[in-house]
Every structure is written in C-alpha cells, then in structure tokens.
A and B are shown apart, each in its own frame.
Chain A
Amino acid sequence: MASPGGQGGVLSTRGGGATRRMKWALELSLGNTRGRGDRQGGQGDVVYPIGFSEKPVPDTSIQETDKNLVEKRCWDVALGPLKQIPMNLFIMYMSGNTISIFPIMMVCMMAWRPIQALMSMSATFKLLESSSQQWLQGLVYLVGNLLGSALAIYKCQSMGLLPTHSSDWLAFIEPPQRMEIMGGGMVL
C-alpha cells in the first residue's frame, strides 16, 4: 500500500512492491493509471470506468440570463461615446479658450477619438452582432460619436481654429489686376 506504485504496466512487472503483492496484474486503462495512482492515497483502489474524464465538460446550452448580459454589454459599447460627453464638456470648460499646448492636445484628442471610432465602425458592428438590437445600438453609437466630434468642432470654433471668418481667407486674395497704366510727375 505504501509502495510508490502508479507505474505503468511495463514498469510494474519490474517494480519490487507489486511483486510483493501479486504475481501479475493487468490494467486495461493505461490513461487512468496516473489518476488511479493519485487517488490511491485517498480512496483506495478505485478504478474509473473506461471513457471517464476528470475534466469537466463546459455546459454549452444557452441560458436566458447570459443573453441579458450580452445585451447589457452591447449597450455599454453603444452608449460609451455618449457617456464620455459630459466628461469632455468638463474638460472643455476647464481647458479654456486660449491657444496653448494643453488645450490644443485636448481638442486634438477629443476630435481624434470619435473620428477613430467612426473609422472602425465595422469592427464595432461585428462586436454588436450578437445583440438583437444591433441596429439601434449601432445608431446610438454613431450618434454618440457624431456628437463627440461636434463637440470637438464647437471647441475648435470657440478657440477660433476654424476658418469661418473672411480674415482667414485674406492671405489667399490675389492683388487686383491693374487696368490702367499711369505715370508722370512734376515737369522736369
């Protein structure tokens, strides 16, 4: 009993302990020898039936509660951009309208994130595929991102970064062509 045991059949013919108990033994399940050997300490000589696996097999049956969870998760994804808006508003308020490196970085980030999100719209849709309200969620996501970029544009506008005034196009006005040639002066 106290013998190390648990060896494979080939080994057990050579093992001293086994020879001490019986002349020979046949084990049908090679795969379970180790398991049996492990269990020997606790349960004694329990031989698992053939085909028994100690690993639990996952339960693949769909449950109602999981479905709810998926829905929730999808809504989280879809509402993400919208939830960021109050935060962005706060940052906007805090950063002020002066043009310096930090407000510019903020604005860039604020503008870049929705654009990035809109660019990877298809990936997001794949994510939302499992949801039953896929289209609604997609729309909400889109609207949220659009709102985010609108906010960024508004911020740009209030910082005066948008070329909306006539002065922004002043440098592109060509000097008018001269229609008359004129010269002269004091009588020499």
Chain B
Amino acid sequence: MAKLILLLLKCILLCGTVYAVFEDQVGKFDWRQQYVGKVRFCHFDAHMQSSKKVLLATESNVFAALNTRTGEVLWRHVDKTGPEGNIDAFLQNGQDAVLVVGNGRFLRSWETNIGGLNWEAVLDSGSFQSACLIGQQGTVKNVAVLKKTAISLHYLSNGHQKWIENLPDSDTVDYQTVYSGGNSEVYVLGVVPHSHIAIVAFSGDDGEILQQSSVEAPWLSSIPESCQMVDQDLLICVDSTTMSLYTLDLKLQLQLNQIPLQSLELEVDPDFRPSLVSHQPNPAKQPRSEFFLQLAPDHYVLLQFNNGQLVVLRDFKPALLVSFATTGEKTVAAVMSPKNKTASSINLFNAETGRRLLDTTLIFTMDPNGGKPEKLNVQAFLKKDDSVGYRVMVQTKDHTLTFLQQPGRVLWTREEALSDVLTMEMVDLPLTGTQAELEGEFGKKTAIQDGLMSMVFKRLSSQLILLQAWVAHLWKLFYDARKPRSQVKNDISMENLSRDEFNLQKMMVMVTASGKLFGIDSKTGGILWKHYLENIPSNAAFKLMVQRTTAHFPHPPQCTLLIKDKDTGLASLHVFNPIYGKMSHVSPPALPQPILQSLMLPFMDQDYAKVLLLIDDQYKVSAFPSTKYVLQQLQEMASSIFFFLVDSNQGRLSGYRLRTDLSTEQIWEVALPTETQKIVSVKGKKPNEHVHSQGRVMGDRSVLYKYLNPNLLAVVTESTDLHQERSFVGIILIDGVTGRIIHEAVQRKARGPVHVVHSENWVVYEYWSTKSRRNEFSVIELYEGMELYNSTAFSSLDRPLVPQVLQQSYIFPSSISTMEATLTEKGITSRHLLIGLPSGGILSLPKMFLDPRRPEMASEQSREENLIPYAPELMIRTEWFVNYNQTVSRVRGIYTAPSGLESTCLVVAYGLDIYHTRVYPSKQFDVLKDDYDYMLISSVLLALFFATMISKRLAEVKLLNRAWR
C-alpha cells in the first residue's frame, strides 16, 4: 500500500514538472548557431560545374560542407577532440573526400554530396607523415599513406590495403613526403638533416622497390618546408643561406642542380625564409611547371620551368597572398595585393604566361575590426564565353571566412572564432531615448533648482515625447499587421537597440580564444559588433568584468577585459563599451608587474564604475579607476577587503588582507601536498546571486536555517595517483576570509574530471566512480540549524558555530561536459541544474532531485515537505532537454543570467555551437500563457458588464412599477 501511495506521489510530482516546448514554440525563444572552427584544409567541390559546396577540414577536428551561396552548413561531422580526432590530411577526388585522422590512425572516405561515410580503414600505428593520391593512366585509384617507417597503398573504392612496405633505413632517414606524378610510380622522399636526401621509388602495382638512392643536400632540414614538386618529377627546393634554388630530377637522380637566385635577378628579404607554392590540379597528371616563390612577406615571383630552364614570368610586389586555381584545362594564379589601408584587390593571371586576365579585379574590403588576410581559396569556373570567372574565400587571422564574388560583393561571412568562446557576460541593453529622457528628468538633482515653470515644461515635453513614441509604435503595429508574417522582420541594429519590457533581450559579450570580441543580440543571435584584438598570445588567460552597467545614464556602460600572457605573466586591460564595442575613452593603467588576480569591489567611484583591484606578483594592489575618491574609499574600507589566491602548481591556498597603504598581509595559508593531490578548481558564489528564503520549512513547520556564507569556497582536488584503487576526489569547503575549513569530503575510488556548481548553501559535484564504473553526483548542503546566529549581518570573523553538513550521492546514467545552475532575479524560483551532455543535449535537472534531505522511507513529515524518497538513480527524462533536437556540439560552458521576469532565466550554451534559450524552472507563474484566450475573457467580461447594466435598468423599472401599485 505504501508503495502504491509512493508511486502515486511520484506520478503527481512528475506531472507537475514537464518542461517541453510546443511545436509552434520551436525557435521562438531560442536559436542555435553552428560553427566549424578554424579552417585547416579547404577544397571547392569541383567535380560538377554547378556545385555549390566547399569542403572544410578544421583545427577543431570538424569536417564539414558549406553552401557557397549562403554560407550555411550543409553537413558536418564532429570528431573527437584532441589529437585522436585531429585531421592530418584531406585529399579530394571527384565525389570522394579522403581524410587521414588521428595521427594516421584512420583513413576515411566521405561521400561529399550528402556527407555519408563510404568506408573507414584502420591503419597500423605509426607517426603520420604525408598522404597523396596515386593516379594511373588518367584515373585515380589508390591513396598512399606515408608513416615514419612504412608506406601503404589503399584502394579508393573500398579502402582495402593494396600493399604495405617497410621503408629502408627508417631509423636514420626521416621520410617526409610521398609523391606520384601520375605514372603509377610512388616516390618517397626522406631527409637526413644537413646531410642528404633519400629517395625511394616504389612500383604502384605491387610495392616493389624500383629505385633507391641518396643525394647530397647538406643545407636541407625539412622537405615540406622548403621543397615542392613541379613539372615532370622535378623536385625544387629553396635555401635561404645559399640564396639559391635547387632542382632534382627524381627519375635521373644524379645530383642537385643549383640555380643562384642572383642569376634570376631576385633577392631574398633578409630574415625571411623563402618558400614555394606549386600546384598539381589532377593527381593523375604531373604538376604544373609554374610555381610561386615567396621572397619577402609581401613579395612573390611567378616562375616557370621551361625545358630545363627557369623563367621569371612575373614579379608581384606588393602581394599579400597568392593561390592557384584550375578549371577545365585552364590554370590561373590569383594574387592579392594591397590597394590602400582598408582594401586590397585580387587579380587573376594566366599561369602559363603570367599575363593579367581582363576584368578579373575583385576588391576585398578589410574589416577595420578584423584581422589581416591569411589564406586565399579560389573557386574558378568557366563562363559561357570560355573565359575564367572566379569567387574567392578569404581566411583572415581572426578566423573569419569571407566569400566574395566580383567585383567585391560579399556573399557571406562566417565568424569561426565563435567556435571557441572562452568567457562571456550578458549586459542589459540601454533604455530607449524616451525612457532615458524620463530617467534624466527625475534623476538630476539640479532639476529642483530650475524652478517650477521649467519643471512643468519639462514634464509636459517628456510626456509629449512619450505620446509620440506610443503613436509611432501603434502605427508600426498597424503597418506590420497588413504585411504577411514572413516579411515582418525584427531587424535589430545599433539604432533601435533598447531594453524590452521584461529585460529578456540582452547583449551577449563573448571573448574568443583568437582574441576577437563579439557583441551578440540575445534575441536573434545577430552579431552587432566585433572587435579583433591583435597580438593576443595563443595561451592567454582572459577575465571579463562588467564595471558599469547600463543603469547609470548618461555614463556609458563599461566592460573590462583582463588579458594575461601566461608565459610572461604580464597583463593588459582592454576597456570597452559592451553595447557598441567601442574602446572606452578611459585609458587603462599600464601594468608593468605580472598580475596574479583581479577583484571587483561592490562599491563604485563617483562615475558609478565599480572599482577593480589588481594584485601583482609582489602582492601589491593597484586600483582601476584610481581616482582620489576611490583611494580614499579604499583606505576606509581596507580592513574589510580580503582576497585569496590559489596556486595549483604549489598546492597552496592563501588569504590576504588589504592594508590602508594598498599593500597586503597574508593572514592564512592552507597547503595541500602536491605529491598526492592537485587542486583542479575553486568555485565561489556568484556575486549577483540572490537567495530569497533564508531557511527551509520542515514538516513540523519549524525552520531549518541555511548556512549562507558569501565567502565560502569549494576547492576540488584530484589525486595524482590515477590507479583505480587508490585514486580519489576531494572537496574542501573553506572560508575565504579566515581560511577556516568548514567541511572536507573525500570520495575514494573516484576520478575526475570533476564538475562543480556552488550556490546558495549547496555544492553539487560530479565525478567518475572507478569502483562502480559509473558517473555519480554528490550534493552537500550546509545548515545553521534551527536558530540563526546573527540574522542581520554575516561576518566570517564572528561565526563560532559549525554548520550542519548533509550529503547524498546519486548515480547518473551519462557523463557530462559542463554544469551550471539557473539564476533568477530575486531567487524565489526553484533552482535547476543545467547539464551539458556530450551527446549535445542540455538537461535541466531540478535541484529537488539532488537534495540530501531526501528520506529513505517516506514519512508524514517528509511528505509534508515535498521530499521525494531517496532513489540512487537519477533519471534522464527526455522532456527535461531544454534544446529538444537542437544538438549543441561540444558544450564547453553554460552561462546563465537573470531576466526581468522572476520566472525566467536566460541560458547560453557555448562550445563548437552557440545555443541560447530561456528556461522556466517553476514554469511561467508570472506570465499569461501564450495561448491565453483574450477574446473569450474580454467578451465574457463585456457581456457580463452589459448584462449587469441591463438588469439594473430592468430592476429599477420593476421597483418603480411596484411603488405605483
């Protein structure tokens, strides 16, 4: 019977927590953007003249096809992260794309039309060097894969291995390149650095070694860097020390033929390593005899090998980028040369003659907030009159892809930097001009001195402006209503950016690994501004802080980005307006010392900017902004400002107190032995988090007060010993002011990666249990007890009582990528955990299920409290997925922000894709439903009103009549 009741209870509970969206709500509140990452290999699908595809293999281990008309992803394959999924080589033959993946571990062939896998072959282990297609009698049938010690040939049709041969002397020779000139012979080129080149020729049919020789080349260290194949089996190399080109005929293999550059009247830029660009349009045929030689960063020369003679066809200076392209039988060279500061022009040249083709100029306008062009990918096609037309995809340093056609029309751009978002913030949009006007009227203190009349006029004028805005709004509504719905576009531009009624639309400020900053409108996902920070080191650490919100009109909002170079430790500040992306006129201070951490204080300077403290490696503190007023405030507050630093390498946690002279003194230190464990993460509480309820109501209607220590830190450690019997995960709850350890828990036989969420009075963490081989969740909750120690003020220095600690663990059926808790304006709404799963789903798990007070046996009191009886398994219910079928690949982080509605929390999941939605943890209790029947309600109301009026009249008449009787 008890079980039946329990079941019933569960049913009721679960009926109450359904969060799915309706079909017509799809895409109404949410959007997703798919990215591919920084492009490594790019091929235009050229097997058909009318093809609209470009195939990309990227550094994010993604293989994708884009529609060249729109720039949308046609299909995309996301491989494993890290070196396991690394795309080493990309070869294209007709409809098939052959990829070598995972340092030569896999050979895969994809069908490019729909992105289906043709076949996959697992190769022998060994470090991958090079791959090429082998042609025979005009058709390509095989693919050769060169590894450190062996070469193997595979059929293109099914991936089966044709033959595999070990390479001779592979312990001394570093084999680097494989080449085939279309006559079934396979050449493998290796180098013994600063000694000689080794050449091995294999027969393509059976792998027999046809020829083996070595040629002296004491200047050569790496073949792919300085050599290329041109013409008929001719190896051409460039050397900067001897300022010469070297040629070697692979067939004859006599010796290197030196051609000094001076004999060609060419000169290499000092400190520049010259390089070569050649072109082999068809793997079944020999490469072109023309090639580019780069002599300086902006100096290219087009050379031709003609009957054993090198001829200079054309000198390009200045030229930024060059590229070859072939269509049909014609090969052209595209050269990008700078025109002025903001634009460059691209021209086509006939590769054979070096003559410029007429009407082929294309102007590429560089984005002032973007990077410099890095690579040129040309899609050439034959026009009807047999002349060559082309489109070009320019890759820039900020990972942007721009697709252009003549004479410079941008067909689409893709911001691939957004595939690697590191940190983000959401900033409220500013009020509209009219709202600001009203704010200004009441906000100014001087207004009172203006006198009565001017106040009245001001009032009237602002009311007039409001009326005007309202009429304009009505007019727009009326105007839009006449148009079909599909045409009504809610275009968001810089001009009409304004906060909506419930503050649901915000500005997402995103910081990407490439150093490009983006401002994205959270309603539509449109990029409103971008700013590329140049010279960002690749391993920089970023910390984004909002110093001033939009609430302080007329002061502009202000964000500060702390960029720290991890190698040198030196940091710099980038101060900007988060709404428009412009650099602030406030000049950030120069930071000569390496910066360890920063700290945002809750108090503001006279311009309403929060004060940022920067702690350098001498443990001295500098303030930004550092006006006299701020320094004075700091001196007054100094005794109550504390900060902590966690040094993961030394296993040291230390706390410091600020002195009035802005130096610091260490007040506590906790050392964790680095031999046994390593600090992996430290989580404090979010500064913008509100907790509405100070306690929990028990079944007997007493209160269990929460231990809400704002200074509490959750420190997660992992054991250095990864043996499954001895590994452990530790969690330490420590007070950041006093260094007092509040609680310590160790999960034995557990391993990371640990994901932690720390909020209110609870900490939830997830780990891998090596003992049971499953993912487990654990939750710790802290309570003060039945009485509050001090209900008016919380000071870590005055807390004699130890909180009660409750803990429970659960089994979770999936591994997770990231975890975050929902956040609402006042903290009244119940909390959910947003869990990013590796499968691409974002799960909204009610915190109610992770409650250490869940009883083993349901009692009267626990039922009164709505506690679900303990069950070790946590279910994944499909209706809990907030992103329904909008899979978000490789979720790296989830950002939550409160909206103006208490029920609503804004969620952004970022990783390879970006997904934004709203979640309602307690459902939309403060909003009328979408399908609310206004017509019915208002008609009923009106009918009732008239019925009342009529019946009143009737009653009057009746009364009068009765009085007469």
CB-CB under 8 A from B566, the residues of chain A are 188
Is residue B600 within 8 Å, beta carbon to beta carbon, of the partner chain? yes
Say yes or no: A170 contacts B797, CB within 8 Å: no
Is residue B595 within 8 Å, beta carbon to beta carbon, of the partner chain? yes
Q: How far is the CB of B640 from chain A (nearest CB, A)?
A: 5
A interface footprint on B594-610 (CB within 8 Å = 1, 0 otherwise): 01110111100000000
Q: How far is the CB of A143 from chain B (nearest CB, A)?
A: 32
Give the interface segment out of A48-56, A116-124, A130-138, A179-187. A179-187
Say yes or no: A170 contacts B703, CB within 8 Å: yes
Say yes or no: A179 contacts B793, CB within 8 Å: yes
Say yes or no: B711 contacts A182, CB within 8 Å: yes
Say yes or no: A182 contacts B642, CB within 8 Å: yes
CB-CB under 8 A from A181, the residues of chain B are 601-602, 637, 640-642
A186 and B637 contact, Cβ closer than 8 Å, known pairs A160-B701, A171-B693, A176-B792: no
Is residue A175 within 8 Å, beta carbon to beta carbon, of the partner chain? yes
Say yes or no: A173 contacts B701, CB within 8 Å: no
Q: How far is the CB of B685 from chain A (nearest CB, A)?
A: 10
Is residue A65 within 8 Å, beta carbon to beta carbon, of the partner chain? no
Contact of A182 among B571, B681, B695, B736 (CB under 8 A): B736
In the bound complex, how far is the Cα of B827 from the Cα of A171, in angstroms?
Answer: 12
Q: How far is the CB of B500 from chain A (nearest CB, A)?
A: 28
Residue of A nearest to B736 (CB): A182
Residue of B nearest to A173 (CB): B694
Say yes or no: B597 contacts A182, CB within 8 Å: no
Is residue B91 within 8 Å, beta carbon to beta carbon, of the partner chain? no
Contact of A183 among B596, B643, B695, B708 (CB under 8 A): B643
A178 and B710 contact, Cβ closer than 8 Å, known pairs A170-B697, A184-B736: yes
Is residue B790 within 8 Å, beta carbon to beta carbon, of the partner chain? yes
Is residue B682 within 8 Å, beta carbon to beta carbon, of the partner chain? yes
Give the interface segment out of B93-101, B103-111, B645-653, B907-915. B645-653
In the bound complex, how far is the Cα of B691 from the Cα of A180, in angstroms?
Answer: 18
CB-CB under 8 A from B647, the residues of chain A are 187
Q: How far is the CB of A43 from chain B (nearest CB, A)?
A: 40
Contact of A180 among B541, B682, B703, B737 (CB under 8 A): B737
Is residue A3 within 8 Å, beta carbon to beta carbon, of the partner chain? no
Total residues of chain A contacting the partner, CB 8 A: 23
Say yes or no: A188 contacts B541, CB within 8 Å: yes
Is residue A63 within 8 Å, beta carbon to beta carbon, of the partner chain? no
Say yes or no: B648 contacts A187, CB within 8 Å: yes
Say yes or no: A176 contacts B790, CB within 8 Å: yes
CB-CB under 8 A from A186, the residues of chain B are 597, 645-646, 648, 679, 681-682
Is residue B698 within 8 Å, beta carbon to beta carbon, of the partner chain? yes
Say yes or no: B694 contacts A184, CB within 8 Å: no
Q: How far is the CB of B783 from chain A (nearest CB, A)?
A: 14
In the bound complex, how far is the Cα of B601 from the Cα of A171, in angstroms?
Answer: 29
CB-CB under 8 A from B702, the residues of chain A are 165-167
Contact of B694 among A160, A175, A182, A185 (CB under 8 A): A175
Is residue B40 within 8 Å, beta carbon to beta carbon, of the partner chain? no
In the bound complex, how far is the Cα of B641 from the Cα of A171, in angstroms?
Answer: 30
Is residue A177 within 8 Å, beta carbon to beta carbon, of the partner chain? yes
Residue of B nearest to A176 (CB): B794
Is residue B795 within 8 Å, beta carbon to beta carbon, of the partner chain? yes
Which of chain B's residues 311-347 have a Cβ closer than 8 Å to chain A? none
CB-CB under 8 A from B637, the residues of chain A are 181
Say yes or no: A177 contacts B792, CB within 8 Å: yes
Contact of B711 among A168, A173, A174, A180 (CB under 8 A): A180
CB-CB under 8 A from A178, the residues of chain B are 710, 793-794
Is residue B172 within 8 Å, beta carbon to beta carbon, of the partner chain? no
Is residue B854 within 8 Å, beta carbon to beta carbon, of the partner chain? no
A interface footprint on B632-646 (CB within 8 Å = 1, 0 otherwise): 000001001111111
In the bound complex, how far is the Cα of B703 from the Cα of A164, in angstroms?
Answer: 12
CB-CB under 8 A from A160, the residues of chain B are 701
CB-CB under 8 A from B596, the residues of chain A are 187-188
Contact of A167 among B571, B697, B791 (CB under 8 A): B697
CB-CB under 8 A from B640, the residues of chain A are 179-181
Contact of A185 among B682, B698, B792 (CB under 8 A): B682
In the bound complex, how far is the Cα of B695 from the Cα of A179, in angstroms?
Answer: 20
Interface size classification for chain B: 35 or more
In the bound complex, how far is the Cα of B794 from the Cα of A173, in angstroms?
Answer: 14
A185 and B646 contact, Cβ closer than 8 Å, known pairs A167-B701, A167-B703, A173-B694: yes
Is residue B33 within 8 Å, beta carbon to beta carbon, of the partner chain? no
Say yes or no: B646 contacts A170, CB within 8 Å: no
Say yes or no: B684 contacts A185, CB within 8 Å: yes
CB-CB under 8 A from A183, the residues of chain B are 597, 599-601, 613, 643-644, 684
Q: How far is the CB of B562 from chain A (nearest CB, A)?
A: 8
In the bound complex, how far is the Cα of B598 from the Cα of A187, in angstroms?
Answer: 9
Which of chain B's residues 562-616 have a Cβ closer than 8 Å to chain A? 562, 564, 566, 571, 595-597, 599-602, 613, 615
In the bound complex, how far is the Cα of B794 from the Cα of A166, in angstroms?
Answer: 20
Say yes or no: A182 contacts B643, CB within 8 Å: yes
Say yes or no: B710 contacts A184, CB within 8 Å: no
In the bound complex, how far is the Cα of B788 from the Cα of A171, in angstroms?
Answer: 14
Contact of B794 among A167, A170, A177 (CB under 8 A): A177
Q: How far is the CB of A156 from chain B (nearest CB, A)?
A: 14
Which of chain B's residues 438-455 have a Cβ closer than 8 Å to chain A? none
Is residue B396 within 8 Å, beta carbon to beta carbon, of the partner chain? no
B interface footprint on A134-175 (CB within 8 Å = 1, 0 otherwise): 000000000000000000000000001000011110110111
Residue of B nearest to A183 (CB): B599
Is residue B499 within 8 Å, beta carbon to beta carbon, of the partner chain? no
Say yes or no: B694 contacts A187, CB within 8 Å: no
A188 and B543 contact, Cβ closer than 8 Å, known pairs A176-B791, A179-B793, A183-B600: yes
Say yes or no: B793 contacts A177, CB within 8 Å: yes
CB-CB under 8 A from B693, the residues of chain A are 170-171
Residue of A nearest to B698 (CB): A167
Is residue B360 within 8 Å, beta carbon to beta carbon, of the partner chain? no
Is residue B222 within 8 Å, beta carbon to beta carbon, of the partner chain? no
CB-CB under 8 A from B710, the residues of chain A are 178, 182
Residue of B nearest to A186 (CB): B646
Contact of B691 among A165, A175, A179, A185 (CB under 8 A): A175
CB-CB under 8 A from B922, the residues of chain A are none
In the bound complex, how far is the Cα of B739 from the Cα of A180, in angstroms?
Answer: 14
Is residue B232 within 8 Å, beta carbon to beta carbon, of the partner chain? no
Is residue B240 within 8 Å, beta carbon to beta carbon, of the partner chain? no
Say yes or no: B703 contacts A179, CB within 8 Å: no
Is residue B626 within 8 Å, beta carbon to beta carbon, of the partner chain? no
Is residue B796 within 8 Å, beta carbon to beta carbon, of the partner chain? yes
In the bound complex, how far is the Cα of B713 from the Cα of A185, in angstroms?
Answer: 9
CB-CB under 8 A from A188, the residues of chain B are 541, 543, 562, 564, 566, 571, 595-597
Say yes or no: A176 contacts B691, CB within 8 Å: no
CB-CB under 8 A from B543, the residues of chain A are 188
CB-CB under 8 A from B794, the residues of chain A are 176-179
Residue of A nearest to B541 (CB): A188
Q: How far is the CB of A183 from chain B (nearest CB, A)?
A: 4
CB-CB under 8 A from A187, the residues of chain B are 596-597, 645-648
Q: How far is the CB of B61 from chain A (nearest CB, A)?
A: 28
Say yes or no: B797 contacts A180, CB within 8 Å: yes
In the bound complex, how far is the Cα of B792 from the Cα of A185, in angstroms?
Answer: 28
CB-CB under 8 A from A173, the residues of chain B are 694-695, 788, 791
In the bound complex, how far is the Cα of B692 from the Cα of A175, in angstroms?
Answer: 8
Q: How far is the CB of B372 from chain A (nearest CB, A)?
A: 28
Which of chain B's residues 767-826 have a Cβ closer than 8 Å to chain A? 788, 790-797
Residue of A nearest to B599 (CB): A183
In the bound complex, how far is the Cα of B703 from the Cα of A160, in angstroms?
Answer: 15
The 4 closest A-B pairs by CB, nearest first: A183-B599, A179-B795, A184-B643, A165-B701
Known pairs A187-B646, A188-B564; list 20 more (Cβ under 8 Å): A165-B701, A165-B702, A165-B703, A167-B697, A167-B698, A167-B702, A176-B792, A176-B793, A177-B794, A179-B795, A180-B796, A182-B644, A183-B600, A184-B643, A184-B644, A185-B644, A185-B646, A185-B684, A186-B682, A188-B595
Query: What are 7 A-B residue pairs whose CB atoms fall within 8 Å in the complex?
Result: A167-B703, A175-B690, A180-B737, A182-B710, A185-B645, A187-B647, A188-B541
